[in-house]
Amino acid sequence: MRKLLAFTVTLALVAAIAAYLVWTQERPVAHYLSDLRITLAVNEGLPADRGNLLGIQPELFPADYQSLERLHLKLAAYLQKARDQGLINDKTIVVLPEHIGTWLMLKGEKNEVYQALHAKDAMNWLSISNPWLFARAWIGATGENRTEDAYLRMKASSMARDYQLLFGGLAKEFGVTLVAGTIALPNPSMDQGQLHIGHGPLFNASVVFGTDGAPIGQPQRQFYPIYDERGFVEPGDENIVNVVDTPAGRLGILVGSDSWYPDNYRKLNEQGAQLIAVPAFVLGRDTWDRPWRGFKSVSTPPEISLKPEELSEGEAWRRLTLISQQPISQATAGMSVFLRGQFWDLGTAGHSFLSNNGQINADGEARGARLLNIWL
């Protein structure tokens, strides 16, 4: 009797494990109607032969990342709308927001991930449906928050490949220079025209793709990750500020709140940066109107007199982003572009804005996909 009971229990256990393994391999594709509309919110200057900076503030949701084809459809629709309005030429620099590439971790997942109400539940489904990838990533995690580190690390190889395929492909398809937002990867670098990952900590980095779809220069890493990411994203080397040549001029990139620090502009000045792109992201549905929490680094730059909570987050972004404010920045123009949308219960904030000769021109609307353009 005991042998029969043991056999029955063992058989049931084997069946359960087999069913679980089969379940982890299933990736049903759900029907999803994506909103492809985008509004031209800011259009400054007059067309000339010097090109333009074109910011795309997308409105994205988890289901947009179910496949590369689906995400390409949405981003290509935005770019096509810009082309239809005469905003794209061979000297156009397109700027996408921070972390637009990081969410590639969601590609090819189960419907439960996209349909979850809370981010925590979605990440639980993500790890349960990828047990071996998650376990290996957790063992190799280097951040203080090993679980969050593992979520980003578990698909790093495919994320890097998809990032280059998608954004390099869009740059070539539309004949533009593309600042492809950012993506969080372990020790990313370019080698022989390919984006590679390494061992060690995660970095939040941005890559520029040329009109031929090929990457230009090395990834620009973020120096000051936000408070919520410090447990798993490592700060980049503050001495490495990259400037790349584009058809519209020399372009520098500052990721997120790196754009608040005067020293970063001085480093860009030394390399002759004429244009500055700021891929940005603000977490929280109403964070933009809440009191500013202060600088992301340990110390406040000596030139800055602002104190935490004496102004709103949005006001701080517009006051501290120093593009083309002489003598600190010698760039002629730049823009800060924010990611918008709804990722489960994680709201997003941020109103994209551009700067030209020290003057700020902002998008006043918070919702919906937006285009911002400045003729150079």
Q: Is the pLDDT of residue 1 over 70?
A: no
Query: Rounded to whole angstroms, how far apart are CA atoms 109 and 333?
Result: 40
Q: Is the pLDDT of residue 349 over 50?
A: yes
In this prediction, residue 18 carries a pLDDT of 42
35-106+159-375 maps to which CATH number?
A: 3.60.110.10
Query: Rounded to whole angstroms, how far apart are CA atoms 208 and 352?
Result: 19
Tokens encoding 85: 């309005």
Per residue in 128-142, pLDDT (tens digit) is: 989 999 999 999 989
Q: At what angle do helices 156-174 and 68-84 cross, to 10 degrees?
A: 30
Q: Which long-range contacts (CB under 8 A, 24 or more apart) does 185-191 make?
A: 185/152, 185/156, 185/159, 185/160, 186/153, 186/156, 188/160, 188/219, 188/221, 189/218, 189/219, 190/215, 190/217, 190/218, 190/219
Closest CA to 219 of 186, 195, 251, 202: 195
Q: Is the pLDDT of residue 21 over 80?
A: no
Tokens encoding 60: 């994205």
CB contact at 8 A, 44 and 374: yes
Domain edges within the chain: 35-106+159-375
Tokens encoding 40: 């031209």
Tokens encoding 351: 């109103």
Q: Quick one: pLDDT band at residue 52, thresholds 50, 70, 90?
A: very high
In this prediction, residue 20 carries a pLDDT of 44
Q: Tokens 């794209």 label which residue?
A: 88
Tokens encoding 100: 């637009």
Per residue in 82-131, pLDDT (tens digit) is: 999 999 999 999 999 999 999 999 999 989 999 999 999 999 999 998 99
Closest CA to 278 of 311, 244, 254: 254
